[in-house]
Structures are given as structure tokens and as C-alpha cells.
Amino acid sequence: MRRNVSAPALLAAILASVSALHAAPGPGPRTPGPKTEKAPAMETVQIRLGTANGESVTATLGGGASARAFRALLPLTVELTDFNATEKIADLPKRLATEGEPPGVDPEPGDLAYYAPWGNLAIFYKDFTYSRGLVRLGRLDRIPDAFRKSAPVKVTIEAVP
């Protein structure tokens, strides 16, 4: 015997079945498990960037693999040169680990980053677009005036005790 079912009635029956499946308890009795605690926040580290003219700024590094690898290079003195009137860049003494990092980021002014394809440090003082291969290491508390000028800036980077 064939029944004629209207489309709205059929849709209502399907939705009711799906809803019942989601409301049904899982197999076997449910017993409360141990209380789960939130995963601990990634450890952050404070660093200081000091310029030759005595200006300094604090930055906070994230807890990713690249930030940890960068932290292991400190203390470090580099000469930051202007790039694209947007960021200051410097070569690092060695490449940083990037395992588990996103494929790229959309940097903002104040971002401390690592550009993996070139192996260099980048400090953004202007907004820029998404860049594949760019890894955010941390954030500056503020952007020093010396970073906004086109002249190179010698900077010593060290962990804050």
C-alpha cells in the first residue's frame, strides 16, 4: 500500500527523528567522570627591546614553538632596517622552529613576528595584509618612535627578569 505524504509532513518527521536521536542517551549508563579543569594558559614571557639612544619598550611573547625558539636566542643585538615603510626587519642568527604554528597571520602595528621564508625578525609599525609564512611571536606594549623612522635602529633584545 502506498501512502501519499506531503513534503512538509515528511520534513517534520525527519526533523523529529533527528531531534530524538540527539536527545537519546548514549550506550550504557552514564556515570560522571572526573571534573575536568581548563587547560593551563600558554606561558608568556616579557622581553625588553632597547635602542642605542636609550629608548626601550617591553613586549610579551606568546607560548608557541616559534616564540619559545626566539626566546632561546636572547639576549640578542640586531640592526633593524626599514622594509616597505611598514616594518623593521633583521636577520636572526638561526631559523626558528615553526611546528604547530598557523600558515600565516594578518599583522597589526605592534606585532613582533618571524617571517619563516626569509628567516628574519619583523616588527610591524603599520598595518599590513595577511602574509603566508609570517608567524606572530608576540606584541610590543607600544611602538618606539625610532621604529617609525626610515633609518636603521640597533636594538638589544633581552628577557625581563
Task: Give the per-residue pLDDT at 48.
Answer: 97
Half-sphere exposure in the Cβ direction for 46 (13 Å, CA): 6
Of 58, 61, 51, 53, give the one whose Cα is nearest residue 88: 51
Task: Give the per-residue pLDDT at 60.
Answer: 97
Query: Residue by residue, what is the 3-state secondary structure of 79-104?
Result: EEEEECCCEEEEECCCCCCCCCCCCE
Q: What is the DSSP secondary structure assignment for residue 52, as one 8-state letter? A: T
Whether the CB-CB separation of 96 and 115 falls below 8 Å is answered with: no
Determine how β-strand 111-115 pairs with β-strand 153-159: unpaired
Domains, the chain: 64-159 (2.40.100)
C-alpha cell at 141: 606594549
As averages over each run of 10 residues, the pLDDT of the chain (161 residues) reads 48 45 39 35 80 92 95 97 97 95 97 97 97 97 94 96 84
Strands (E), 13-146: 45-51, 56-61, 76-83, 87-91, 104-105, 111-115, 120-124, 131-132, 134-140
Task: Give the per-residue pLDDT at 17.
Answer: 45
Residue 25 to residues 18, 31, 33, 34, Cα–Cα distance (Å): 13, 12, 16, 19
